[in-house]
Amino acid sequence: MVKLTVEGVSKHFGDTKAVNNFSLKVEDEEFVSILGPSGCGKTTLLRLIAGLETLSEGRILFNDKIVNDVPSRERNVSMVFQSYALFPHLTAAENIGFPLVIRKVSKGKITDRVREVAELLKIVPLLGRKPRELSGGEQQRVAVGRAVVRQPDVLLMDEPLSNVDAKTRAYLRAELKELQRKIKTTFLYVTHDQTEAMTMSHRIAIMREGKLIQVGTPEDIYEHPKDVWSASFIGSLPMNFFDCTLIDKRGVRAIGAVCFSPQSPKNIMKMLEGLEDGTKFNLGVRPEDIEISKTRTSQLTCEADVHLLEPMGDSLIVNLKIDNTIMRAKTKPGFKVDVGEHVYITFDWSRAHLFLSSDGASLHKV
């Protein structure tokens, strides 16, 4: 097993900086997800680590060894792709065993090892089938089998669950996590799906336009997003944002925003200490941190109209309209409310976030 170090790595394609001064350490036996939107450079980064592209700048190390000039086949890295890329004319067993055939491993050993991997992935009954006789999820299990069969030092996965249906994806998420726990290979997993990153990884690295924005545990990133962009990317429902301005009313500092009175919670005021009056910022509140009531409950309550209801089964998402701003609040499934109803909302201010409008940077919670 190895510790993977990516140090100041860039990859330019003409004028495009697909990866831009990216640094990340993945510890031995660690599962790290790279989370970012399409086109942010995730695949390019994996290809650099696998040795399928040459670096424009920086270094990649496996333990203490710089591998920049080590050819791909000597890196002991496996990669799983979104398109399963199985050989259509080979059976599942032959597909899984293929990397060992090229390495001239004996037939008996290949049979044993394929069996071992198939048991691990719970696909023993499928071993004799060709890819066209397998569902998408089963094909991806075979592709994972082929990737782990030769015990790679680093396992790279490039959006492996994007092509499978939602239910299978949920199963495979748990299975891949368990697989990593069993085989203990260093995993670097690329996804644009925040649920996958949140549920599977020890740590998440958020990537945008070739750059690393933030790296941390799922809880850490959820609780302390570094900027407005990171905040909007994490969470099964997007965070609500409100444009605010810091104002001074006869010596009393307050936030001026669409929905609340100048009396502002102490923790929020503390976060704004040292900023000039007139500073613009975004207040971020997650849907689960908004409480809806039928009556006014405190001075910090504001009024809203119910705009739309989204029943989710395990919860009810209420879309609220305040002036021209729409926001979403998550309530219990049995919550009784009608479209058009006038309601009162209260934020859990201890869980609110503030971001400077100028550059989106988070003003840290106090």
Residues that bind ligand ADP (CB under 6 A): 13, 16, 18, 36, 38-44
Binding site partner of 39, from Mg ion, ligand ADP, none, Cβ cut-off 5-8 A by kind: ligand ADP
Q: Which two tokens stand for residue 18?
A: 């697909």
Indicate the pairing of strand 4-13 with strand 16-26: antiparallel
43 belongs to the binding site for Mg ion (CB under 5 A):
yes
Instruction: Name the minimum Å distance from CB 108 to Mg ion.
Output: 38
Total of chain residues touching Mg ion, rule CB under 5 A: 1
Instruction: Name the minimum Å distance from CB 360 to ligand ADP.
Output: 20
Strand order in the sheet with 186-191: 77-80, 154-158, 186-191, 31-35, 203-208, 211-216
Instruction: Name the minimum Å distance from CB 190 to Mg ion.
Output: 7
Choice between 42 and 173, CB closer to ligand ADP: 42
3-state SS assignment for residue 123: coil
Choice between 16 and 293, CB closer to ligand ADP: 16
139 belongs to the binding site for Mg ion (CB under 5 A):
no
Instruction: Name the minimum Å distance from CB 41 to Mg ion.
Output: 8
Binding site partner of 263, from Mg ion, ligand ADP, none, Cβ cut-off 5-8 A by kind: none
Helix then strand then coil, % of the chain, to nearest 5:
30, 35, 35
Residue of 31, 1, 29 lying closest to 203 (CA atoms)? 31
Choice between 42 and 75, CB closer to ligand ADP: 42
Q: Alpha-carbon distance 314 to 331, whole Å?
A: 9
Q: Alpha-carbon distance 278 to 267, whole Å?
A: 19
Site string for Mg ion, 177-206 (x = CB under 5 A): ------------------------------
- The amino acid present at 23, given as its one-letter code, is S
Instruction: By CB under 5 A, name the binding residues for Mg ion.
Output: 43
